[in-house]
C-alpha cells in the first residue's frame, strides 16, 4: 500500500517529512512479528499507528473484532493489573468466583497494544519481559505456564530513555520492546500541516451541522501555526469544533482566535501581541474574565458552605460520643444553629473561627486511633481522602 492510500484510509492529514517517515516505517514493519515501540506526545495519534500496524499484518484476520486488543497501562490500578493482563483462576483471590481470561489470552494470535507502557509498575515489567522472551503467561493463582502467540505494540509519551537511566523502567524490557521504534512528531514540529488539519476539521463540522465552514484570515493562520499545541491534534480538533459551532462570523481573525487559545494555561502559551488590538476584542476578553471570576467565586462560596456543614456535623458527633479516658481535651460544644444560607461576608468570619476547632478534632481522632488514618476518618465521619487533604492543609504529621 502506498503512503497516499494509507493516509486516505486512516484519515491522516499532513505532508510533514517526519510524519511521512513514520507512516513508511509502519507499513514496512507491519508484515513482520517485531515488537514495536511508538513514542510521541499525548494526542499525536499513537493509537492510529497501532491499527495501521495490525491491520496491515498477517494477523488482521485472526478472531475478527478481537485481533487487536488495546490496553491503557496507566489506567489500570496496580493491584489488579496482573489479573487484567494475564487473567486469573477461580479462587485466586477474594471475589474470584470464576476463572477469567486476561488481555494477552484474548489477543492470542493477534496484536496487543500496550499504551502508556512507561506507567507499568516495575514488578509487572519483569513479568512482561518473561512473556516477550518465552511466549508464556501464568494466570494469577496458577502455577502452569500457558503458551500464547501475541505481537506487542507499545506506546509511551514519556522520555523512556530517561526513565531507564533513573531506574523507573527496566533496560532489558526497553530493548525487548524496542526492536523497532516509530517516532510521531508533535504538531508544533509540523507547522505546515496545521492549516490543513484546521480546514479538515472545519469541513467535518460544517457537513455535520449543515453550516458554512469557517476560514482563517492570513494573520489568524500565522497565529495558529505559531501556537505550541501541547495537546497536539486532539487539542486542535477540539478548538476548531468550538469555533465552528460558537462563532457566527465565518471568517476567523486573530482577535476571535485568541479568545479560544487563551484557555490554555498562560505559562505554556507563546507571547502573541497584536500590533493594534481592537478595543472591542479587549472588552470581550475582559467580560469573559469577569464572568469566570464570578463563577469561580460562586463555586468557592458553595464549597465553603459544604465544609462548614461537614465540620458542624463532625463536631456534633464527636461531642455526643466523648472519650474522657483517652481524649486529653474536652470536645468543643456543637456550633450554634445558623441560617441555612450564609452570606459571603459571614462565611469568611465563620470559616476562620472554625479552623482551629477542625484541627483539634482531627488531632484528637488521630490520637484515639493511634495514628490509624482509616479509623480516624471513620471517627470523624469523613472519607480517608478528605482526611488526607486536611492533614496537608493543616500541616499535621503523625
Q: What is the mean pLDDT of each run of 10 residues along the chain (398 residues)?
A: 90 95 96 96 95 93 72 91 93 86 93 95 94 93 92 95 95 95 96 96 94 95 95 94 93 94 51 38 43 48 58 60 46 41 44 66 82 80 76 76
Residues 177 and 219 in one domain: no
We report the CATH number of the domain holding residue 54 as 3.40.50.300
Residue 344: CB partners within 8 Å, gap ≥ 6? 297, 301
Residue 291's pLDDT is 44
Residues 88 and 19 in one domain: yes
All 3 cell numbers of residue 331?
470536645
Q: Is residue 16 part of a domain?
A: yes
Range of the domain at 338: 292-393
Within a 10 A sphere around the Cβ of 94, how many other Cβ atoms? Answer: 6
Residues 177 and 40 in one domain: yes
Q: Is residue 287 part of a domain?
A: no
Q: Is residue 378 part of a domain?
A: yes
Task: Give me the residues paired with residue 183 across strands.
Answer: 39
Q: Nearest Cα to 179, choosing from 3, 22, 38, 1?
A: 38
Residue 60's pLDDT is 85
Task: Give me the residues paired with residue 137 across strands.
Answer: 146
All 3 cell numbers of residue 369?
486511633
Dihedral sign for Cα atoms in the order 54, 55, 58, 63: positive
Q: Nearest Cα to 369, choosing from 391, 394, 348, 341?
A: 391
Q: Which of 185, 220, 243 is the last residue of a domain?
A: 185
Contact yes or no for 159/59 (Cβ under 8 A)? no
Residue 316's pLDDT is 61
Residues 202 and 172 in one domain: no
Answer yes or no: pTM beyond 0.85.
Answer: no
Residue 66's pLDDT is 64
Residues 125 and 198 in one domain: no
Q: Which of 277, 302, 325 is the last residue of a domain?
A: 277
Measure the CA–CA gap between 333 and 108, rounded to whole angstroms. 65
Q: Is residue 283 part of a domain?
A: no
Q: Which of 221, 251, 277 is the last residue of a domain?
A: 277
Domains contained in the chain, number? 3
Contact yes or no for 382/354 (Cβ under 8 A)? no
Amino acid at each position: 500500500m502506498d503512503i497516499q492510500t494509507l493516509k486516505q484510509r486512516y484519515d491522516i492529514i499532513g505532508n510533514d517529512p517526519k510524519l511521512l517517515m513514520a507512516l513508511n516505517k509502519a507499513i514496512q514493519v507491519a508484515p513482520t512479528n517485531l515488537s514495536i515501540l511508538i513514542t510521541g506526545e499525548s494526542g499525536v495519534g499513537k493509537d492510529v499507528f497501532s491499527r495501521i500496524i495490525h491491520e496491515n499484518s498477517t494477523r488482521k484476520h485472526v478472531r475478527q473484532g478481537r485481533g487487536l486488543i488495546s490496553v491503557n497501562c496507566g489506567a489500570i490500578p496496580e493491584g489488579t493489573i496482573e489479573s487484567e493482563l494475564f487473567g486469573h483462576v477461580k479462587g485466586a483471590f477474594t471475589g474470584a468466583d470464576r476463572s477469567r481470561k486476561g488481555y494477552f489470552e484474548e489477543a492470542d494470535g493477534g496484536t496487543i497494544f500496550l499504551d502508556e507502557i512507561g506507567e507499568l509498575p516495575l514488578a509487572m515489567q519483569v513479568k512482561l519481559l518473561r512473556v516477550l522472551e518465552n511466549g508464556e503467561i501464568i494466570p494469577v493463582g496458577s502455577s502452569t505456564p500457558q503458551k500464547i502467540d501475541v505481537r506487542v505494540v507499545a506506546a509511551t509519551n514519556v522520555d523512556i530513555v530517561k526513565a531507564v537511566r533513573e531506574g523507573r523502567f527496566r533496560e532489558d524490557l526497553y530493548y525487548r520492546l524496542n526492536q523497532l521504534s516509530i517516532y510521531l512528531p508533535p504538531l508544533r514540529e509540523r507547522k505546515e500541516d496545521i492549516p490543513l488539519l484546521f480546514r479538515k476539521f472545519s469541513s467535518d463540522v460544517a457537513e455535520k451541522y449543515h453550516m458554512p465552514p469557517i476560514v482563517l484570515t492570513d494573520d489568524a493562520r500565522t497565529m495558529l501555526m505559531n501556537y505550541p499545541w501541547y495537546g497536539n491534534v486532539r487539542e486542535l480538533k477540539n478548538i476548531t469544533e468550538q469555533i465552528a459551532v460558537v462563532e457566527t462570523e465565518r471568517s476567523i481573525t486573530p482577535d476571535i482566535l485568541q479568545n479560544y487559545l487563551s484557555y490554555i494555561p498562560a505559562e505554556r502559551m507563546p507571547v502573541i501581541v497584536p500590533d493594534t488590538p481592537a478595543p472591542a476584542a479587549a472588552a470581550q476578553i475582559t467580560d469573559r474574565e469577569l464572568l469566570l471570576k464570578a463563577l469561580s467565586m460562586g463555586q468557592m462560596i458553595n464549597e465553603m458552605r459544604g465544609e462548614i456543614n461537614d465540620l458542624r456535623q463532625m463536631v456534633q458527633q464527636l461531642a455526643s460520643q466523648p472519650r474522657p479516658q483517652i481524649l486529653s481535651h474536652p470536645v468543643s460544644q456543637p456550633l450554634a444553629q445558623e441560617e441555612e444560607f450564609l452570606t459571603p461576608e459571614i462565611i469568611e468570619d465563620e470559616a476562620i473561627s472554625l479552623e482551629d476547632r477542625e484541627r483539634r478534632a482531627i488531632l484528637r481522632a488521630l490520637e484515639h486511633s493511634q495514628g490509624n488514618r482509616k479509623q480516624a476518618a471513620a471517627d470523624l465521619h469523613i472519607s480517608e481522602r478528605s482526611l488526607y487533604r486536611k492533614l496537608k492543609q493543616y500541616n499535621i504529621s503523625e
